[in-house]
Amino acid sequence: MNKAASIGAKKLGFIGAGNMAEALARGLLAAKLFAPSELIASDLEAVRRRRFSRSFKIETTIDNLEVVHRSRAVVIALKPQTIDQALEAIRTGSIAAGVTLAGRLFISIAAGVTIARFQRLLGANVRVIRVMPNAPAMVGQGMAALVRGAKVSRADQALAMRLLRAVGDAIALEDESLLDPVTGLSGSGPAYVYLFIKSMADAAISEGLTPQDALRMTLQTVRGAELNMRKSGLDPGALIRLVASPGGTTEAALKQFAEARFSDIVADAVRAATARSRELGKS
């Protein structure tokens, strides 16, 4: 047995202790899916390690290899530009220690890093699940999609779904290429919503409302509309018709949206983000 394994096995490890890893850890602990003693995290930045340790009472280390060797499943939460070097070090270190990486499940939330790239860097038999999460996971309201590699079992996928649903919702896809439109929709989508909220509030401010009142009313309007859609079971078109009385204020606003090609603008934005996701995946 290697030294790392001999000092205590963990159920789940994090390589990278940034915002998304922190969100996942918080959600998993709050849902009582894991105890702090069952988790471990690594990060090169001391400030990140201290924050993780102080916030969650989770063991931390600077050594990625230690996390891999001591964990049954590993969440890869690294920036795409650093991942090749990190994974190559994990593979070479594991070979030297006599550790078989096929015995671990790797769950990657690294944007644009394909399953094939993981297998090239870690070995063809490695078990990899690729995930596209989004920022609202940091407040427990994330939306994620995952795709499992060929070596991943249904039980592995079920574990990943439990992890992701601890911080929101998640769906499983069969086709990895669909993670590009997922990126364009839910991955980048929060920024579109923030822009819409800002635009609504700014317009109200220009009409005389205070910034505080404008933002407060906009946020509650968005929240109420979202909840009403979920609870009513009606599709967006039907809800629009319920609000837009003939000849009324909403109809006047919707006419302006149509003349400005609002729906086309949104579609073009999602397509642009999707195309950029494809480009990043090829680079």
Last-in-domain residue among 141, 174, 207: 174
**pLDDT tens column, 38-69:** 999 999 999 999 999 999 999 999 999 999 99
Range of the domain at 68: 3-174
Q: What is the CATH number of the domain that holds 245?
A: 1.10.3730.10
Q: What is the CATH number of the domain that holds 155?
A: 3.40.50.720
- Structure-token pair, residue 254: 């919707």
* Cα 157 from Cα 174, distance rounded (Å): 12
How confident is the model at residue 105, as a pLDDT?
Answer: 97
Considering the domain architecture, whether residues 145 and 41 belong to the same structural domain is answered as yes
How confident is the model at residue 185, as a pLDDT?
Answer: 97
Considering the domain architecture, whether residues 164 and 202 belong to the same structural domain is answered as no
> Taking the complete model, does pTM exceed 0.75, yes or no?
yes
Q: Give the pairing type, strands 127-132 and 142-148.
A: antiparallel
Q: In this structure, is residue 202 part of a structural domain?
A: yes
How confident is the model at residue 81, as a pLDDT?
Answer: 86
Considering the domain architecture, whether residues 49 and 145 belong to the same structural domain is answered as yes
Considering the domain architecture, whether residues 231 and 116 belong to the same structural domain is answered as no
Indicate if the pLDDT at residue 272 is higher than 90: yes
Average pLDDT, the chain: 94
Q: In this structure, is residue 180 part of a structural domain?
A: no
Considering the domain architecture, whether residues 38 and 126 belong to the same structural domain is answered as yes
Last-in-domain residue among 174, 202, 235: 174
Sign of CA dihedral 256, 258, 260, 263: positive
Q: In this structure, is residue 181 part of a structural domain?
A: no
* Cα 74 from Cα 147, distance rounded (Å): 16
Q: Which strand ranges, in their side-by-side order, compose the sheet holding 71-76?
A: 59-61, 39-42, 10-15, 71-76, 105-108, 127-132, 142-148, 168-173
- Between 16-30, 158-172, 269-283, the lowest mean confidence (pLDDT) is in 269-283
Q: In this structure, is residue 179 part of a structural domain?
A: no
Considering the domain architecture, whether residues 202 and 162 belong to the same structural domain is answered as no
Last-in-domain residue among 129, 146, 174: 174
How confident is the model at residue 282, as a pLDDT?
Answer: 79
Indicate if the pLDDT at residue 2 is higher than 50: no
> Which residue in 144, 189, 184 sits closest to 277, CA to CA?
184
Considering the domain architecture, whether residues 18 and 155 belong to the same structural domain is answered as yes
Q: In this structure, is residue 269 part of a structural domain?
A: yes
How confident is the model at residue 7, as a pLDDT?
Answer: 52
Count of domains observed in the chain? 2
**pLDDT tens column, 87-143:** 999 999 999 999 999 889 999 999 889 999 999 999 999 999 999 999 999 999 999
Give the model's confidence band at 70: pLDDT under 50 very low, under 70 low, under 90 confident, else very high: very high
Q: In this structure, is residue 133 part of a structural domain?
A: yes
**pLDDT tens column, 222-254:** 999 999 999 999 999 999 999 999 999 999 999
Considering the domain architecture, whether residues 103 and 227 belong to the same structural domain is answered as no
How confident is the model at residue 1, as a pLDDT?
Answer: 35
Q: In this structure, is residue 184 part of a structural domain?
A: no
Indicate if the pLDDT at residue 8 is higher than 70: no
Considering the domain architecture, whether residues 164 and 258 belong to the same structural domain is answered as no
Average pLDDT over residues 201-207: 98
Give the model's confidence band at 6: pLDDT under 50 very low, under 70 low, under 90 confident, else very high: very low
Percent of the chain with pLDDT over 90: 91
Q: In this structure, is residue 30 part of a structural domain?
A: yes
Considering the domain architecture, whether residues 141 and 15 belong to the same structural domain is answered as yes
Can you tell me which residue has the tokens 């270190």?
Answer: 93
Considering the domain architecture, whether residues 99 and 237 belong to the same structural domain is answered as no
Considering the domain architecture, whether residues 161 and 251 belong to the same structural domain is answered as no
